[in-house]
């Protein structure tokens, strides 16, 4: 006995609480039509999870709640409880007794489910009874309808019964769940694949764009760091250049102002001199007029004198001796005056000539001295200019004679780790150039490399190109050398010690070790005497170099002297500066000497001209003096011959002759005027020379001023250019990098700026070659790719899940096929016996319509009742069909034990004999299965262990009571009678 009790309240016609306690295996439910028997069947199915309103014979679920009758009001809730004996653990729970309850509220339409009074879900109840044979589609609850439908059903429809018997329902349910899961998975997979394809279409271009953007960002970052340093370096250098240019401009401006002032002053002087020249010219002109006038007067007077002489001559010829004597006396006086006058003038001219000669000889000696001075100055100038050219050439190409060094420097960009040449890396302090240069000697041409590998690389380059030999100093292996502390302390107190050579060079910090390696133990002293002394005190342990470059080597050997062309890369600039300075002075001196020489030469020319003039005058005057002398002598003789003795001697009265005096005065005037003209001309010449000299000077000053102005313009242009570049750099710093110069300066890298500039150029080109860049691409790529990867993983998971489901389905199929086939065979085995028992002979056989498709095949039945041939099951009578169905039902019960079977008038269509056979057959299952049989047939009732009668005493409300067989028969008969 499995079902112990049913409790109903408010369910269909059971308005009041009704309890049926079952205490035996075969229970009959009897009662007249419509009293509510089948409602009990419905109640059991309802509790066990029936959801189909139709199979509960209603139109909505609330139809199961008592809907009232003429005498009773409707109730609001239906509640049914089934109590099972689970001591055999037919239900898969640990409880010995299981109570299953279902409630339904009319108002809310809500259902409630309980197992052992604990609320649960409908699903839990369905799972509890699944495969126990009690399911809602169970073959354990069979109605008349089921029986009659069996024969007429299609083979496929019959399958359900066998599946239930085989207990594959749970697998089928699970399979269906799995299939729908599979469908969902497949749908999801397809949707996913669509999305993945779409994402794939986006991912690759985005990946490329992201890579490009990353390269762009990386390059931009590098560019920013380097360019900021380059900009800072440029700004610093430009600021220095601008300061330098401003200083130069200021100096130039001062020079210009000085030149302009000097020119102004000199121009004024020139103007003054020109005025003087003009005045002198006018004065000379006036004097010239006076000179002409005087000459004219002389000519007139001379003419008159000749006339007078002629007159006298005539008078003498005819006059008396006394008159002759008087006349001759006057003529002697005259001639004597003239002679004295001319002689004196001759003497003056001779004195002048002697003076000029003296003057000339002095000027010539001055000229010869000036010439030699000029020659010397020109020679020096030439020498300096040549030296300047040589030095400039050397400064441009300091390594012209070092083929290997030159080759390495030219190939510097292709070689790696070349830091430079020693002479480029170290800058000697002013005045120490010679000492440092000699201290280094050949080492100044050594090439500094980053490490030994770079040196090796450079050496193989020299070998390959046959470019000569060079010495390399790898920074990585250079170790500093220093003077011993006590030696240094000692040396400091010695005479002439200036310091250690490393103190007198400037270099970048990273070359400090190399500096100390080269100079750390070299001492600089003032002169060789002190060098020897210090060497001795330091026990000849150090190289000592003097400011002049002489050396006391370690051990005491000495090197010294002077080369003709001793310029080295370290001394070139110094020498060039000093040569330029000397050159400037020398040029000025040469110019001055030239001016001096030219002044002397013009002075000489002037003296020569004056001398010639004097000589001409002398040449003219000398015969005149002689003539005057002989005339005087002749007249004296004539007078002596005619004059009485007492009258011999010259009468002074004759001197008063007006003509002679006027003539003499006129001659004096001529002399005076010509001397005045001469001095004025001399002055005029002097002033002219002065003007010329000054004009030359002013021209030179103007040329210089022009050069200064040109230089100033160049400086202005350079300054403007530098300022524009500075502004551009500042602008770039603030606009592009949003940095102040001070902040940028703090970020400046300590690096080779030349290389940094090249790198900036390269980076700019690389960035430009990237073209359009989508800066959001990395983020977009990340997001899309993450989604892509996530979905790809999900796809893999779904495929794995799908495979798993399919494997599970295959496994379930296998189990179902196996169980179904096994059960089918078992049932088939039982069928023939059951058939023969119920039909009293004949045979029956079940067969699979499609044995190759066990999972879906329909089931047909081949029946041959006794005395009949095999015919189509549909051709049998209603009773036969029912009996065949009952045979199959019993075969199933035999093949698989059911704990509970509820038959609702299944035997209705059978005749009396078959009812009895049917009822008897049931009793065979007693002890294994419990039967609740709703019946109207006494034959069946007779085989029941207990009978329950259902009545509807009150109109519309069912009641239950246990009855005896006869009462039961009566209940049926009575009703039938009433109906009849």
Annotated binding site for ATP: 32-39
Among 9, 18, 39, 697, binds ligand ATP (CB under 6 A): 39
DSSP 220: H
Q: How far is the CB of 34 from ligand ATP (least distance, A)?
A: 4
Main-chain phi, psi angles of 903, to 5 degrees: -105, 120
Of 79 and 433, the one with the shorter C-beta distance to ligand ATP is 79
Of 35 and 498, the one with the shorter C-beta distance to ligand ATP is 35
Of 12 and 259, the one with the shorter C-beta distance to ligand ATP is 12
Q: How far is the CB of 884 from ligand ATP (least distance, A)?
A: 23
What does the chain come to in residues?
980
Helix (H) or strand (E) holding 28: strand 26-30
Q: How far is the CB of 803 from ligand ATP (least distance, A)?
A: 51
Q: Which residues make beta-bridge pairs with 494?
A: none
Of 398 and 939, the one with the shorter C-beta distance to ligand ATP is 939
CA 10 – CA 587 distance, rounded (Å)? 140
Which single residue brings its beta carbon nearest to ligand ATP? 33
CA 643 – CA 402 distance, rounded (Å)? 112
Reference 816, options 47, 60, 165; nearest CA is 165
CA 510 – CA 598 distance, rounded (Å)? 61
CA 757 – CA 412 distance, rounded (Å)? 15
Reference 230, options 238, 240, 241, 218; nearest CA is 238
775-794: contacts with ligand ATP (CB under 6 A)? none
Q: How far is the CB of 111 from ligand ATP (least distance, A)?
A: 16
Count how many Cα atoms sit within 13 Å of the Cα of residue 514 in the half-sphere of its side chain.
28
281-340: contacts with ligand ATP (CB under 6 A)? none
Residue given tokens 């001559």 in the structure block = 313
* DSSP per-residue string spanning 614-625: HHHHHHHHHHHH
Neighbours of 73 (CB within 10 A): 10
801-820: contacts with ligand ATP (CB under 6 A)? none
Among 38, 101, 229, 606, binds ligand ATP (CB under 6 A): 38
Q: How far is the CB of 192 from ligand ATP (least distance, A)?
A: 51
* DSSP per-residue string spanning 384-397: HHHHHHHHHHHHH-
Q: How far is the CB of 39 from ligand ATP (least distance, A)?
A: 4
Of 71 and 772, the one with the shorter C-beta distance to ligand ATP is 71
118-157: contacts with ligand ATP (CB under 6 A)? none
CA 329 – CA 643 distance, rounded (Å)? 8
CA 618 – CA 345 distance, rounded (Å)? 9
Of 16 and 692, the one with the shorter C-beta distance to ligand ATP is 16
Q: Using H for helix, E for strand and C for coil, what is the string for 413-461?
A: CCCCCEEEEHHHHCEECCCCHHHHHHHHHHHHHCEEECCHHHHHHHHHH
Which letter, b or e, does each residue of 299-312 get, where b requires 16 or more Cβ atoms within 10 Å of its Cβ?
A: eebeeebeebeeeb
Give the E-state strand segments of 778-920 in sequence order: 843-848, 859-864, 900-904
| Site size toward ligand ATP, by CB under 6 A | 14
Q: How far is the CB of 948 from ligand ATP (least distance, A)?
A: 12
CA 538 – CA 493 distance, rounded (Å)? 12
Angle at 239 between CA 238 and CA 240, to 5 degrees: 90
Q: How far is the CB of 901 from ligand ATP (least distance, A)?
A: 17
Q: Annotate each residue in 702-731 with x if it binds ligand ATP (CB under 6 A) or - if it does not, as one string.
A: ------------------------------
Of 66 and 337, the one with the shorter C-beta distance to ligand ATP is 66
37 touches ligand ATP (CB under 6 A) = yes
Neighbours of 911 (CB within 10 A): 12
**Cα-based distances in Å from 874 to 504, 804, 881:** 130, 44, 8
**Interface stretch with ligand ATP, choices 33-41, 521-529, 607-615, 846-854 (CB under 6 A):** 33-41
**Interface stretch with ligand ATP, choices 37-45, 203-211, 348-356, 416-424 (CB under 6 A):** 37-45
Q: How far is the CB of 904 from ligand ATP (least distance, A)?
A: 7
Of 7 and 42, the one with the shorter C-beta distance to ligand ATP is 42
Of 61 and 570, the one with the shorter C-beta distance to ligand ATP is 61
Q: Are the C-beta atoms of 62 and 104 separated by less than 8 Å?
A: yes
Q: How far is the CB of 886 from ligand ATP (least distance, A)?
A: 18
Of 39 and 229, the one with the shorter C-beta distance to ligand ATP is 39
Among 12, 212, 329, 937, binds ligand ATP (CB under 6 A): 12
Of 39 and 891, the one with the shorter C-beta distance to ligand ATP is 39
Q: How far is the CB of 178 from ligand ATP (least distance, A)?
A: 39
Q: How far is the CB of 815 from ligand ATP (least distance, A)?
A: 39
Of 38 and 132, the one with the shorter C-beta distance to ligand ATP is 38
Of 33 and 261, the one with the shorter C-beta distance to ligand ATP is 33
Q: Annotate each residue in 13-32 with x if it binds ligand ATP (CB under 6 A) or - if it does not, as one string.
A: x-----------------x-
Reference 777, options 384, 258, 203; nearest CA is 203
Q: Annotate each residue in 211-230 with x if it binds ligand ATP (CB under 6 A) or - if it does not, as one string.
A: --------------------
Q: Are the C-beta atoms of 531 and 525 separated by less than 8 Å?
A: yes
Q: Are the C-beta atoms of 60 and 975 separated by less than 8 Å?
A: no
Q: What is the CA radius of gyration of the chain?
A: 76
Could you tell me whether strands 543-546 and 522-525 are parallel, antiparallel, or unpaired per DSSP bridges? parallel
Binding residues: 32-39
Q: How far is the CB of 814 from ligand ATP (least distance, A)?
A: 43
Q: Annotate each residue in 43-82 with x if it binds ligand ATP (CB under 6 A) or - if it does not, as one string.
A: --------------------x--xx---------------
Q: Are the C-beta atoms of 475 and 449 separated by less than 8 Å?
A: yes
- Alpha-carbon 838 to chain mean position: 99
Residue given tokens 């350079």 in the structure block = 718
Among 21, 33, 261, 264, binds ligand ATP (CB under 6 A): 33
Q: How far is the CB of 943 from ligand ATP (least distance, A)?
A: 19
Q: Are the C-beta atoms of 848 and 854 separated by less than 8 Å?
A: yes
Among 20, 27, 30, 35, binds ligand ATP (CB under 6 A): 35
Of 794 and 951, the one with the shorter C-beta distance to ligand ATP is 951
CA 132 – CA 167 distance, rounded (Å)? 8
CA 552 – CA 558 distance, rounded (Å)? 4
Could you tell me whether strands 26-30 and 18-21 are parallel, antiparallel, or unpaired per DSSP bridges? unpaired
Q: How far is the CB of 956 from ligand ATP (least distance, A)?
A: 6
Among 6, 25, 27, 36, binds ligand ATP (CB under 6 A): 36
**Interface stretch with ligand ATP, choices 19-27, 35-43, 233-241, 794-802 (CB under 6 A):** 35-43
Helix (H) or strand (E) holding 947: strand 946-951
901-960: contacts with ligand ATP (CB under 6 A)? 956
Reference 409, options 395, 392, 417, 421; nearest CA is 421
Among 1, 16, 34, 821, binds ligand ATP (CB under 6 A): 34
Of 68 and 585, the one with the shorter C-beta distance to ligand ATP is 68
> What does the binding site for ligand ATP look like in residue numbers (CB under 6 A)?
12-13, 31, 33-39, 63, 66-67, 956
């Amino acid at each position: 006995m499995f079902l112990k009790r049913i409790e109903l309240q408010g369910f269909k016609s059971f308005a009041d609480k009704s309890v049926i306690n079952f205490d035996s295996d075969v229970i009959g439910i009897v009662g007249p039509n419509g009293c509510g028997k089948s409602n009990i069947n419905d109640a059991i199915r309802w509790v066990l999870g029936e959801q189909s309103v139709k199979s509960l014979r209603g139109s909505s679920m609330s139809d199961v709640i008592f809907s009232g009758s003429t005498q009773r009001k409707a109730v609001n809730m239906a509640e049914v409880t089934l109590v099972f004996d689970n001591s055999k653990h037919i239900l898969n729970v640990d409880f010995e007794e299981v109570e299953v309850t279902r409630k339904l509220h009319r108002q809310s339409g809500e259902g409630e489910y309980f197992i052992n009074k604990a609320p649960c879900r409908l699903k839990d109840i369905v799972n509890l009874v699944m495969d126990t044979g009690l399911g809602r589609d169970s073959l354990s609850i069979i109605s008349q309808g089921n029986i009659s439908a069996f024969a007429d059903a299609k083979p496929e429809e019959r399958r359900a019964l066998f599946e239930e018997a085989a207990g594959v329902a749970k697998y089928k349910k699970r399979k269906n769940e799995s299939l729908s899961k599979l469908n969902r998975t497949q749908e999801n997979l397809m949707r996913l694949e669509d999305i993945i394809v779409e994402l794939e279409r986006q991912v690759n271009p985005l990946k490329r764009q992201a890579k490009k953007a990353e390269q762009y960002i990386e390059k931009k970052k590098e560019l920013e760091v380097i360019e900021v340093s380059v900009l800072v370096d440029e700004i610093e250098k430009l600021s220095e250049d601008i300061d330098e240019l401003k200083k130069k401009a200021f100096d130039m401006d001062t020079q210009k102002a000085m030149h302009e002032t000097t020119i102004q002053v000199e121009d004024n002087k020139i103007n003054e001199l020109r005025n003087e020249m003009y005045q002198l010219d006018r004065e000379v002109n006036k004097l010239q007029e006076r000179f002409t006038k005087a000459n004219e007067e002389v000519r007139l007077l001379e003419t008159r004198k000749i006339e007078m002489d002629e007159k006298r001559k005539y008078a003498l010829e005819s006059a008396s001796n006394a008159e002759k004597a008087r006349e001759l006396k006057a003529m002697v006086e005259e001639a004597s005056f003239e002679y004295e006058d001319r002689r004196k003038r001759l003497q003056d001219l001779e004195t002048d000539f002697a003076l000029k000669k003296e003057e000339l000889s002095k000027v010539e000696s001055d000229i010869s001295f000036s010439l030699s001075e000029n020659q010397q100055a020109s020679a020096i100038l030439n020498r300096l200019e040549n030296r300047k050219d040589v030095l400039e050439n050397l400064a441009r190409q300091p390594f012209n004679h070092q083929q290997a060094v030159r080759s390495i420097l030219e190939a510097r960009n292709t070689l790696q780790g070349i830091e430079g040449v020693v002479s480029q890396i170290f800058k000697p302090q002013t005045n120490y150039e010679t000492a440092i240069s000699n201290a280094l000697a050949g080492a100044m041409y050594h090439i500094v490399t980053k490490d030994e590998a770079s040196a090796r690389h450079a050496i193989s380059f020299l070998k390959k190109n046959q470019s000569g030999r060079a010495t390399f100093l790898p920074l990585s292996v250079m170790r500093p050398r220093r003077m011993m502390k006590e030696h240094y302390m000692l040396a400091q107190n010695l005479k002439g010690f200036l310091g250690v050579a490393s103190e007198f060079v400037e270099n970048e910090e990273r070359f400090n070790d190399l500096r100390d390696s080269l100079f750390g133990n070299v001492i600089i002293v003032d002169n060789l005497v002190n060098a020897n002394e210090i060497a001795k005190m330091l026990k000849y342990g150090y190289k000592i170099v003097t400011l002049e470059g002489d050396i006391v080597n370690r051990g005491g050997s000495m090197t010294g002297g002077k080369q003709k062309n001793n310029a080295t890369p370290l001394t070139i600039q110094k020498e060039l500066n000093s040569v330029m300075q000397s050159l400037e002075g020398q040029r000025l001196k040469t110019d001055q000497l030239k001016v001096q020489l030219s002044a002397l030469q013009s002075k000489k020319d002037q003296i020569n001209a004056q001398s010639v003039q004097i000589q001409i005058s002398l040449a003219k005057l000398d015969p005149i003096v002689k003539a005057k002398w002989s005339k005087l002598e002749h007249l004296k003789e004539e007078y002596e011959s005619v004059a009485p003795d007492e009258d011999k001697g010259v009468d002074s009265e004759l001197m008063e002759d007006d003509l002679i005096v006027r003539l003499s005065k006129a001659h004096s005037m001529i002399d005076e005027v010509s001397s005045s003209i001469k001095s004025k001309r001399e002055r005029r010449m002097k002033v002219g020379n002065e003007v010329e000299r000054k004009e030359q000077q002013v021209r030179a000053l103007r040329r210089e001023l022009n050069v200064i102005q040109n230089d100033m313009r160049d400086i202005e242009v350079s300054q403007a250019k530098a300022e524009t570049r500075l502004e551009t750099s500042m602008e770039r710093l603030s606009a592009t990098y949003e940095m102040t110069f001070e902040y940028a300066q703090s970020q400046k890298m300590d690096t080779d700026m030349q290389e940094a500039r090249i790198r900036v150029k390269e980076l700019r080109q690389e960035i430009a070659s990237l073209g359009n860049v989508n800066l959001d691409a990395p983020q977009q790529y990340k997001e899309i790719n993450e989604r892509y990867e996530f979905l790809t993983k999900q796809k893999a998971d779904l495929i794995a899940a799908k495979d798993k489901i399919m494997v599970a389905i295959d496994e379930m199929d296998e189990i179902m096929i196996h169980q179904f086939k096994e059960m089918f065979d078992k049932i088939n085995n039982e069928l023939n016996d059951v058939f023969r028992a119920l039909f009293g002979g004949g045979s029956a056989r079940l067969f699979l319509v499609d044995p190759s498709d066990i999972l879906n095949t329909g089931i047909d039945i081949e029946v041959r009742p006794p005395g009949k041939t095999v015919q189509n099951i549909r051709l049998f009578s209603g009773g036969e069909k029912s009996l065949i169905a009952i045979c199959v039902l019993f075969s199933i019960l035999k093949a698989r034990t059911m704990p509970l079977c509820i038959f609702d008038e299944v035997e209705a269509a059978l005749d009396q004999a078959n009812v009895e056979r049917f009822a008897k057959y049931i009793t065979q299952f007693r002890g294994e299965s419990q039967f609740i049989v709703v019946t109207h047939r006494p034959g069946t009732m007779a085989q029941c262990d207990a009978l329950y009668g259902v009545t509807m005493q009150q109109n519309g409300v069912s009641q239950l009571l246990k009855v005896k067989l006869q009462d039961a028969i009566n209940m049926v008969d009575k009703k039938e009678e009433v109906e009849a």
